Structure 1
Amino acid sequence: MRENFVINPKYSHLQPALKDALYQFEKVGEYVTKGERNVIKKIELNGVVFNIKSFKTPNFFQSIIYQYFRKSKAKRSFEYASKLANFGIGTPTPVAYIEFFSLGLKQSYYISEHLDYDFDFRVLIHKPKFENREEILRQFTQFTFKLHENGVNFLDHSPGNTLITDVGNNQYEFYLIDLNRMRFEPMSFEKRMNNFRRLWPSKTMVKIMAEEYAKLYNKSTSETYETMLKYSRDFQKKKNSKKLRKRKRQRSRA
């Protein structure tokens, strides 16, 4: 079996220990998440805590695609995190990735530094009275504007994929995770507004974010609000309709 291991030069001194942890992934560390598709475990080496993400083993057709035609999720995660870091955009520090090939991609892992955060964007949706909520939303909008100005179209810009730390004095820092679906391209106004759709914001949240984005983009508040709200509502209707159809199919089978 052939392997491809790439490491951030900053961590080259830990290469043997990191590779050993990857080879023994099932035996080392503690689980952070254990999903059907991906598994994340946490390990500590030389006083530094790392997260190792194991991606779901692809089927035969997908494995061939990943070997010859498309970058693996682990490789994309590492490269995209490195690009974000170069832009000064928050994401857990990329450390390394490894791919194993044998008649296609068999397994891949992505390693990043573990990030201690205070909450994620979901809290702002589920707790309307969350302390300093409006200010956090405004700073989050500034963060998203910075993404767009750097030509970053984060296709999974959803509530669980932004981690937030409170650094004091009403200032917050934002970090993107789950990076393997991303495009680097010029961001038109329509693309920018469409990029907010997966956040599942309420009308109040849209109003706050639209006001802030309009100031940054030199666009009218009304047009920004209406466009952002349209994309958000269209996305929510589509998702709710899909859930309804799924429930109907389940009832018909019962």
Structure 2
Amino acid sequence: MKIIHHPKYKNQENSILQLVTVFFTDGELIVKGARNIIKSNFLGSGKVNIKFFQKPGWFKSIIYSFFRSTKAKRSFDYANYLIDHAILTPFPIAYIESRSGLGLLKDSYYICQQIDYDFTIRELIHDPLFPERNMILEQFAAFTFKMHEAKVNFLDHSPGNTLVVKKDTGKYEFYLIDLNRMNFKNLSIEERMDNFKKMWLSKTMVKVIAKTYAKLSNEPEEKLHAILLEKTTQFKRKITRKKYLKRKIGKI
């Protein structure tokens, strides 16, 4: 096994490895997906999350072993980039890779601190009567602007991948999770608006986001509103079409 940990955790390497050793028999299950499993456990007195990435197929195993960073490594590296640019994400502790004698990737794990959050953006999106909804959307737009200014293109910028922590009255913090799909570059205004499309925004929410982002970017509000509305509408149509075709094929 290969373990890479944050310097803050250099004296806890054995304890980190132990979390992986007992992963399937210990800890609290948070998510069990087809490809990944997330559990929580304790590292010392602090609660952490451990994300297990299943062994990839033989072709992807070759890709991840010799040509591309593993999902666990990317999660760790991208989290450190975010932290270095003052963008909140659960603090990265370590990643671990298990390889065969030929150097092919088998299993991998990413470990980070657990965040006790109040809700995700998903709850806000689906509830028009969510308390302080517009205020939260404005602050979320500002958070995303800061992310874009740091050259972060978060390809999975979707409602379930932002944890929200309520601080003082009217003040919220946003934490990005599920980090392994990102790229880093200067983003055009079209690309910035496109990055919101997976949020499944209503027309009202589009107005709020466009207005806040326009103030921060010094771009015309009408321009941003038009681009964002178009990107959002196109994405919704694409997903709706996919679901329709899937249902039709399922009946054949």
Q: TM-score, normalised by structure 1?
A: 0.97
1:13 to 6, 11, 14: 11
What is the alpha-carbon distance in structure 1 between the residues aligned to residue 105 and residue 236 of structure 2? 35
1:88-167 matched pairs, under 5 angstroms: 88-102=86-100, 103=102, 104-167=104-167
The one-letter amino acid paired with 1:121 is I
State the 1:45 CA deviation: 2.5
- For the residue of structure 2 that corresponds to 1:146, the secondary structure is helix
1:99-121 C-alpha deviation (Å, 9 max, x unpaired): 11114110100000010000000
**Cα drift, residue 25 of structure 1:** 1.3
Q: Give ranges in structure 2 of 5+ residues lacking alignment.
A: none
| Deviation at residue 168 of structure 1 after TM alignment | 1.2
Distance in 1 between residues matched to 2:163 and 2:108, nearest whole Å: 24
Instruction: Confirm whether residue 28 of structure 1 aligns to residue 34 of structure 2.
Output: no
CA distance in 2, matches of 1:33, 1:48: 20
What amino acid sits opposite 2:249 in the alignment? R
CA distance in structure 1 between the aligned counterparts of 2:217 and 2:44, rounded to whole angstroms: 45
- The alignment of Structure 1 onto Structure 2 pairs a total of residues equal to 250
> Secondary structure at 1:39's aligned position in 2?
strand
Cα deviations across residues 39-95 of structure 1 (Å, max 9, x unaligned)?
Answer: 001111221001000012100111011000000000000000000000000100000
What is the match of residue 171 of structure 1? Answer: 171
Counterpart residue identity of residue 202, structure 2: S
Which residue does 2:77 correspond to in 1?
79
Of 17, 37, 40 in structure 2, the residue corresponding to residue 39 of structure 1 is 37
Distance in 2 separating the partners of 1:40 and 1:168: 30
AA of the residue aligned to 2:154? F
Distance 1:16 1:43 in 2: 15
Partner residue of 2:52? 54
The equivalent residue for 2:216 is: 216
> Corresponding residue for 1:186?
186
Question: TM-score, length-normalised on structure 2?
Answer: 0.98
Q: Cα distance, 1:169 vs. partner? A: 2.3
One-letter code aligned to 1:148:
H
Read off the aligned partner of 1:122 and give its amino acid letter. R
Question: 1:15 Cα deviation (Å)?
Answer: 1.1
Name the CA distance, whole Å, in 1 between partners of 2:251 and 2:166: 45
**Displacement of 1:28:** 1.6
Q: Deviations over 1:165-201 (max 9, x none)?
A: 0001210000000000000101111110100000000
Which secondary structure does the structure 2 equivalent of 1:168 belong to?
coil
Q: Distance in 2 between matches of 1:46 and 1:4?
A: 21
- Give the letter aligned to residue 248 of structure 1: K
Match of 2:167, SS state, is strand
- Stretches of 4+ aligned residues off by more than 4 angstroms: none
Given residue 125 of structure 1, which amino acid in structure 2 is its aligned partner?
A: I
